[in-house]
Amino acid sequence: MTAAGWAQFAAVIVLILVSTPVLGAYLAKVYGDHRAPGDRVFLPVERLIYRATGVNETGEQRWDVYALSLLAFSFVSVLVLYAQIRLQGHLPFNPDHLKGVTPALSFNTAVSFLTNTNWQNYSGESTMSHLTQMTGLAFHNFVSAAAGAAVAVALIRGLVRNKTGTLGNFWVDLTRTCTRVLLPMSFAFALVLMSQGVIQNVHATRTVATVAGSQQSIPGGPIASQEAIKEIGQNGGGPYNANSAHPFENPNPITNVLQIWLLLAIPFALTFAFGRMAKDQGQGWAVFAAMFVLWLVMTSLIMPLETRGSPKLGALGASQQVTATQSGGNMEGKEARFGAAGCGLFASSTTGTSTGAVNCAHDSLTPLGGAVPLVNIMLGEVSPGGTGSGLYGMLVFALMSVFIAGLMVGRTPEYLGKKVQSAEMKLVVLYILFVPVVILGFAGASLLLKHALSSLGNPGPHGLSEVTYAFTSQANNNGSAFGGLSGNTLWYNTTGAVAMLVGRFFLMIPVLAIAGSLGRKQAVPASAGTFPTATPLFTALLTSVVLIVVGLTYFPVVSLGPVVEHLAGHF
């Protein structure tokens, strides 16, 4: 790997380590019960929103009311987005005169942005108007991320409060996440991206003459503002089909490193906020360490796999060495601006979170290189996951870990002083099973149905990887894809939307139920038999449980896809 590749990797690590405690401390104050920075600015705006919407900002909700609020907000907002996409041909700010989108694709897209998946079975610049991009899709980029943060905060409250029936207020948590976290960060970093060359306009597509004398269409759009929240909220749905490989979205190595850090910043920072809210920073660092180790290991695997290149290309006489004119490695599907190492770093980070943005074609990765983002998503995107979803996913695994530890020592398991009993473990099992059932069920059906198989771009093990990756990405709300699968069909649009809904709400509801159950309990003092959960030993146990659960679930399909492809030399 080149010095430039190592420099990018090191820069991202430093940014994570610096930003986690700073941003995490701020998040803890935003979601805490006392005054928070910026109250003079934000409180008047928030109270105006509460008055306009009839929200009682001082009233707290039980877990089931919190969940109903989440579902009601999601139901109404997805209907509005669906209608806007269908009717965009009759709406303003449509300089390219794009027509309304077909029903199946509109349904898939609306559900995709509702669930923070941002899966796109279309080319953004030729399908969605500026109004749809600026209001419909961008709105959900904010609120879908905020909803995930709200559920995570509700779970933290359930863990740290004693004998309470309430978990906070969904509407307040949603609003404060947008006004105090996502909007200020997006505004600031949109300006930074603009300074580096990311475009921001409302121009129509322009046809220009190239130096070679041919014609080329140059799209416009409000890109910098969308790009900022795309990464900060782990959304990933790019305004352009090429996503973060497009020079208008990601012009240079500086913006590339910045975007990687932005998609990692909040998920890692939430672990620090968890420690602050639990009044035990060691708990937060233990969860952070498990996330960080998983991300570090996966990134350390994929970067050399891609920079090493493809043996078949070498056998054909193609040079994959680093020279003055090329960065070396497997450059198929890569951007020369970022190289194979930059692709690997971005791919691991975007699939370790629920972002799904890409700066290279994942379908063109080497078989084992492509296995890394696939396995990353299969982990449930807890390394470090999405805004809120990564933290509550890892905390669910933490509950399973203490349950296993409790069985080992013959004691009732405890986490933060709360006894983890059968009621919580049943919900944990449901949380862990819902997504694999959807992924393996829909993938299996797709391999049996002729009309589904006709969408495959490749036969054999790589075709299996394409189908599995698609449903894994959608069910885990990631949004990246192996591009060889043609997903804009009635089958994939419909089943994909169902997978996204299950992967979002069939996990959020059990998490809120767990929070409600734990919140009603009284924390018990630690004793000599209590398994400590703020230690390196617990971090190792937590990391192992994540890997073992995922390995037992998905090992067969990974073996038949990427591993067989590698052993057969199909690359």
Given a contact cutoff of 8 angstroms between Cβ atoms, the answer to whether 381 and 349 are in contact is: no
Query: What is residue 571's predicted lDDT score, i.e. its pLDDT?
Result: 61
Query: What is residue 103's predicted lDDT score, i.e. its pLDDT?
Result: 95
The CA angle 453-461-112, to the nearest 5 degrees, is 55
Q: Tell me whether strands 215-218 and 206-209 are parallel, antiparallel or unpaired.
A: antiparallel
What is d(CA 20, CA 285) in angstroms, rounded to the nearest whole number?
10
3-state secondary structure of 172: helix
Query: What is residue 325's predicted lDDT score, i.e. its pLDDT?
Result: 65
Predicted structure pTM score: 0.95
The Cα-based distances of 149 to 154, 379, 386 in angstroms read 9, 19, 9
Those residues whose C-beta lies under 8 Å from the C-beta of residue 308, and which sit 6 or more positions away, are 329, 330
CA-only gyration radius of the chain, Å: 23
What is d(CA 81, CA 182) in angstroms, rounded to the nearest whole number?
20
566: tokens are 């590698």
For 322-343, give the DSSP string.
--SS---S--TT--TTTHHHHH
Those residues whose C-beta lies under 8 Å from the C-beta of residue 70, and which sit 6 or more positions away, are 147, 150, 151, 170, 505, 508, 512
Strands (E), 330-441: 414-415, 418-419
436: tokens are 């694999």
Distance of CA 357 to the CA centre of its chain: 9
Tally Cβ neighbours within 10 Å of residue 505.
18
Contacts 24+ apart (CB under 8 A), 76-82: 77/114, 77/139, 77/140, 77/143, 78/110, 78/111, 78/114, 80/136, 81/109, 81/110, 81/113, 81/114, 81/136, 81/137, 81/139, 81/140, 82/106, 82/107, 82/110
Query: What is residue 332's predicted lDDT score, i.e. its pLDDT?
Result: 86
For 439-480, give the DSSP string.
HHHHHHHHHH-HHHHTT-SS-HHHHHHHHHHHHHHHHTT---
484: tokens are 């060889």
Given a contact cutoff of 8 angstroms between Cβ atoms, the answer to whether 158 and 167 are in contact is: yes
365: tokens are 């990765």
Given a contact cutoff of 8 angstroms between Cβ atoms, the answer to whether 414 and 531 are in contact is: yes
Largest CA distance in the chain: 79
3-state secondary structure of 355: coil
Closest C-alpha to 356, from 466, 242, 255, 237: 237
273: tokens are 């906020």
Given a contact cutoff of 8 angstroms between Cβ atoms, the answer to whether 319 and 216 are in contact is: no
- What would the 3-class secondary structure string for 490-535 be? HHHHHHHHHHHHHHHHHHHHHHHHHHHHHHCCCCCCCCCCCCCCCC
> Is the preceding omega at residue 384 within 30 degrees of 0, hence cis?
yes
Q: For the chain, percent helix, then strand, then coil, each to nearest 5? A: 65, 0, 30
Closest C-alpha to 306, from 377, 369, 374: 369
Closest C-alpha to 258, from 351, 185, 165, 177: 185
360: tokens are 């290279």
Tell me 204's DSSP state: P
What is d(CA 39, CA 342) in angstroms, rounded to the nearest whole number?
40
Q: What is the crossing angle of helices 63-87 and 138-160, to 10°?
A: 170
Instruction: List phi, psi (to 5°) of 216.
Output: -140, 140
3-state secondary structure of 249: coil
pLDDT tens sequence for the chain (571 residues): 788 889 999 999 999 999 999 999 999 999 998 889 999 999 999 999 999 999 999 999 999 999 999 999 999 999 999 999 999 999 999 999 999 999 999 999 999 999 999 999 999 899 999 999 999 999 999 999 999 999 999 999 999 999 999 999 999 999 999 999 999 999 999 999 999 999 999 999 999 998 888 899 899 999 999 999 999 999 988 899 999 999 999 999 999 999 999 999 999 999 999 999 999 999 999 999 999 999 999 999 999 999 988 777 777 777 777 776 677 788 889 988 898 999 999 999 999 999 999 999 999 999 999 999 999 999 998 999 999 999 999 999 999 999 999 888 777 899 999 999 999 999 999 999 999 999 999 999 999 999 899 998 888 999 999 999 999 999 999 999 998 899 999 999 999 999 999 999 999 999 999 999 999 999 988 887 788 999 999 999 999 999 999 999 999 999 999 999 998 875 6
What is d(CA 354, CA 341) in angstroms, rounded to the nearest whole number?
21
Given a contact cutoff of 8 angstroms between Cβ atoms, the answer to whether 12 and 253 are in contact is: no
What is d(CA 383, CA 506) in angstroms, rounded to the nearest whole number?
20
Given a contact cutoff of 8 angstroms between Cβ atoms, the answer to whether 321 and 366 are in contact is: no
